[in-house]
Amino acid sequence: MRIYLIGYMGSGKSTLGRELASRLNLSFLDMDQFIEERYLKTVPDIFREEGEIRFREKEQACLREISVMEDVVVATGGGAPCFFDNMEFMNLTGCCVFLDVEPGELVIRLKRGDVIRPLIQEKPAEELVQTIEEMMRRRRPFYEKARYIISGNSITADDVINKIGMNCG
Ligand code: S3P
């Protein structure tokens, strides 16, 4: 079984993913962390030194590697589904679950979080909701290709398990 959790930054892919993996007896893999270990560079450093396009190429290459791993819950990077054929590729190689969290809630979480996110880090707090809403509008058509969509501001591992049932084997 291979589950890809997709959704915007701050939607809970990593936190919920860890819990989901442990509940389902699967491994957990964080895609950003995988990229950092593969290229021995942090995600913000890749963005700063090489630019977003190079980051997206690395992300795609890592996705190819991850797609052959068995019995794993993958927390994907928020932009991964929106580049190249990544979304189609994930749908072919696993079960995609879109964690659909409202922009207002994402802002609260992102302000609280300590992870550096190059695409939003420069934004003043008052522009963050608008930035997220705009990005979500562009990204939603990709995210919505997921096999399962779960909407809410406090999605739990149980919600995911109830939604996917026995259908992701
Ligand atoms: C990105 C999301 C980040 C990371 C990079 C770009 C995006 O991952 O891959 O900063 O484009 O939304 P998280 O969704 O895990 O924060």
**How far apart are alpha carbons 23 and 15 in whole angstroms?**
13
* Among protein residues, the one whose CA lies closest to atom 16 of ligand 1: 9
pLDDT class of 122 with cuts at 50, 70, 90: confident
Output the CA 82–ligand 1 centroid distance in Å.
11
Question: Is 39 within the bounds of a domain?
Answer: yes
Q: What range defines the domain where residue 19 resides?
A: 2-158
Question: Is 74 within the bounds of a domain?
Answer: yes
Question: Is 23 within the bounds of a domain?
Answer: yes
Q: Residue 149: beta bridge partners? A: 98
Output the CA 43–ligand 1 centroid distance in Å.
9
Residues with CB under 6 A from ligand 1: 9, 13, 32, 43, 77-79, 117-119
Q: Identify whether the C-beta of residue 14 lies closer than 8 Å to the C-beta of residue 154.
A: no
Output the CA 115–ligand 1 centroid distance in Å.
10
Statement: the pTM of the whole predicted model exceeds 0.95: yes
Query: pLDDT (tens digit, 9 = 90+) per residue, 34-56?
Result: 999 999 999 999 999 999 999 99
Question: Is 168 within the bounds of a domain?
Answer: no
* Among protein residues, the one whose CA lies closest to atom 2 of ligand 1: 78
How many domains does the structure of the chain reveal?
A: 1
Q: Which pLDDT does position 121 carry in this prediction?
A: 87
CATH code of the domain in which 36 resides: 3.40.50.300
The terminus-to-terminus CA distance of the chain in angstroms comes to: 5
Q: Identify whether the C-beta of residue 18 lies closer than 8 Å to the C-beta of residue 28.
A: yes
* Among protein residues, the one whose CA lies closest to atom 9 of ligand 1: 77
Question: Is 163 within the bounds of a domain?
Answer: no
Q: Identify whether the C-beta of residue 1 lies closer than 8 Å to the C-beta of residue 168.
A: yes
Is the pLDDT at 64 greater than 80, yes or no? yes
Question: Is 51 within the bounds of a domain?
Answer: yes
* Among protein residues, the one whose CA lies closest to atom 8 of ligand 1: 77
Question: Is 148 within the bounds of a domain?
Answer: yes
pLDDT class of 147 with cuts at 50, 70, 90: very high
Question: Is 86 within the bounds of a domain?
Answer: yes
How many C-beta neighbours within 10 Å does residue 14 have?
19
* Among protein residues, the one whose CA lies closest to atom 12 of ligand 1: 78
HEC-encoded secondary structure of the chain = CEEEEECCCCCCHHHHHHHHHHHHCCEEEEHHHHHHHHHCCCHHHHHHHHCHHHHHHHHHHHHHHHCCCCCEEEECCCCHHHCCCHHHHHHHHCEEEEEECCHHHHHHHHHHCCCCCCCCCCCCHHHHHHHHHHHHHHHHHHHCCCCEEEECCCCCHHHHHHHHCCCCC
